[in-house]
Amino acid sequence: MPKNKPISSVKVNELFTSFSLDYNYDPSDYNHELASLIFLWEDQGYVEIYQTIQDREYGRIKSSDEDGNGKFIYQYCDIYHARVTKDGHDPLVVVKFQTDEDDPTTEHVSLRFLSDHDQLFGTIKQKNNRGHLKVIRDLADDKIIKGDSR
């Protein structure tokens, strides 16, 4: 069953475009889809967080901190992802909840970058290569940390 997380707003991190381009996604190709997601979340005043594939729907987000086998991914702690399009599997928008500076009792959704499942979680072939998974996870974690300072 999805859980509703209240939000005050949705903000696009100033490094969003740069980081998305690093993953070979141009956010301008998805302006309409991203605007629709932002509108949905801000209009609702919350984001739905789901855990099981049965609860997956457009507009809902999923925690990124576990792999397909339920193992914790420390680099993705407090990171979430959502599908950008209603019909597609990829791209994903990576998001994080952040405390609002104006009102420390509320949080907003911070859009961090666009990527896809293979680039964030590894291809099926790569999932058994711990060294490669660490490299791709550390890369995403570095982007999240850099975005935290903006």
Question: Does the pTM exceed 0.75?
Answer: yes
The answer to whether residues 118 and 87 touch, using CB atoms and an 8 Å cutoff, is: no
* Number of domains the chain contains: 1
Residues of the chain where predicted confidence (pLDDT) is lower than 50: none
Please give the residue range of the domain that contains residue 47: 3-148
For 118-143, the DSSP string reads HHHH--TTGGG-HHHHHHHHHHHHHH
> What is the pLDDT of the chain when averaged over all its residues?
94
| Per-residue model confidence (pLDDT) at position 69 | 81
| Per-residue model confidence (pLDDT) at position 88 | 87
